[in-house]
């Protein structure tokens, strides 16, 4: 099951940059539709899986569609929204998966499984059907883009640069490093928090509750904080988020208690904020802008998945040899390193005109 759950991430790692190029070629309307179609196909194939190999392949298909959506969404924000609106729009993009995960967790076992006589395949097909409806809704909405968008299907060609040229932009290089470290911390906690909490004496039900409830402050923060992330305060906000990310985890080293409970709620809020705020640095940089946002997004998520794949493995190795406290200490240290790196962002940014 571990290989099944991780299959899409390995495919995503290799598919992200080609996905950015594909979005360049076909434009947002077609590119996002294809991405949603692949996600739907992944669900249908999972429902029809007959063994390990077919299930791994089905989950792997999600790794082809996922980057088209995760790269296409911020590209859409950069093209369809002005600078003053991008914080709110990016927050909505990030909060979408949180809401979707909460709905899934609340309905899958409690409502849908009993409704379908405990047949999980029908549950997966139901969620695939909802994804298909999302694709239809996108196709209809994209037929009437904002009036200021001259060409809603194609990304603007003027000012496009190569991946090599993007990598020469200081803010891009720094954001990619932050992406690796951010995914390292976020994926490590997402995978290991229930076990960390159980190791500190919580019951399986209690550990599951606290691991799930941290999404609630994350949803609120993702909707509010990016909206406040104007150019003048953006660096300070990002640094503060990284500091709070580390401080939120630190009490776990001391054991479970009220301080640790508050801490992981703070962590949940900050982990949903750092990604949209970091993406705003790319969108608003003159050398990136909307013309190169798909390529920059491809680089961002490719780099991020390096940390996303390696983080849980390293935490597991540390836990095997010294328990979870050294692993938590490492995550706290990485968070504070990110805060230090983020402090140098302002000097790298060349704001795009609003």
User: Is residue 272 helix, strand or coil?
Assistant: coil
Can you give the C-alpha Rg of the chain in angstroms?
Answer: 20
Is 181:305 a contact under the CB 8 Å cutoff?
no
Give the tens place of pLDDT for each residue, 83-135. 778 778 888 887 888 788 778 877 887 788 899 998 999 999 999 999 999 99
**Percentage of residues in the chain having pLDDT higher than 70:** 92
* Angle, CA 187 vertex, CA 77 and CA 50 arms, to 5°: 95
pLDDT given at position 349: 57
**pLDDT at 76 exceeding the cut of 80:** yes
- Look at residue 45 in the predicted model and tell me its pLDDT: 97
- Split at pLDDT 50, 70, 90, the class of 301 is confident
CA dist 237 and 270 (Å) reads 10
Find the mean pLDDT for residues 319-337: 91
At residue 351 the predicted structure's pLDDT band, cuts being 50, 70 and 90, is: low
Tokens (6 digits) for 260: 């640790």
Q: Which of 193, 213, 42, 233 is nearest to 131 (CA)?
A: 42
CA nearest to 233, candidates 269, 280, 178: 280
CATH architecture of 2-348: Up-down Bundle (1.20)
- Give tens-digit pLDDT for 235-247: 899 999 999 999 9
Rounded distance between C-alpha atoms, residue 330 and residue 266, angstroms: 18
**Residue bearing the bigger pLDDT, 46 or 150:** 46
Cross-strand bridge partners of residue 285: 351
Nearest to 354 by CA among 149, 81, 83, 76: 83
């Amino acid at each position: 099951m571990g290989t099944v759950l991780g299959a899409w991430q390995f495919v995503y790692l290799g598919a992200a940059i080609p996905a950015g190029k594909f979005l360049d070629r076909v434009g947002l309307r077609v590119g996002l539709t294809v991405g949603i179609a692949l996600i739907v196909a992944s669900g249908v194939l999972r429902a029809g899986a007959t063994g390990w190999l077919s299930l791994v392949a089905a989950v792997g298909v999600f790794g082809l569609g996922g980057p088209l959506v995760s790269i296409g969404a911020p590209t859409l924000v950069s093209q369809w929204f002005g600078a003053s609106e991008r914080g709110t729009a990016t927050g909505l993009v990030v909060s979408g998966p949180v809401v979707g995960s909460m709905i899934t967790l609340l309905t899958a076992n409690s409502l849908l499984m009993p409704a379908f006589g405990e047949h999980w395949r029908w549950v997966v097909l139901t969620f695939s059907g909802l994804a298909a409806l999302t694709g239809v809704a996108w196709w209809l909405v994209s037929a009437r883009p904002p009036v200021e968008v001259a060409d809603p299907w194609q990304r603007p060609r003027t000012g496009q640069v190569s991946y090599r040229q993007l990598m020469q932009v200081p803010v891009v290089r720094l954001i990619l490093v932050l992406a690796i470290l951010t995914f390292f911390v976020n994926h490590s906690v997402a995978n290991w928090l229930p076990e960390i909490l159980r190791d500190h004496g919580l019951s399986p039900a209690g550990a599951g509750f606290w691991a799930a409830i941290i999404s609630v402050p994350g949803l609120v923060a993702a909707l509010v904080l990016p909206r406040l992330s104007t150019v003048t305060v953006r660096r300070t906000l990002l640094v503060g988020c990284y500091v709070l990310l580390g401080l939120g985890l630190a009490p776990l080293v001391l054991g479970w208690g009220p301080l640790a409970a508050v801490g992981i709620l703070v962590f949940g809020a900050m982990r949903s904020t750092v990604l949209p705020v970091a993406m705003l640095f790319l969108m608003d940089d003159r050398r990136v802008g909307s013309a190169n946002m798909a390529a920059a997004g491809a680089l961002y998520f490719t780099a991020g998945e390096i940390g996303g794949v390696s983080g849980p493995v390293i935490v597991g190795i540390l836990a095997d040899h010294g328990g979870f406290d050294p692993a938590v200490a490492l995550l706290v240290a990485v968070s504070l390193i990110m805060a230090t790196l983020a402090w140098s962002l302002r000097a790298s940014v060349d704001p795009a005109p609003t």
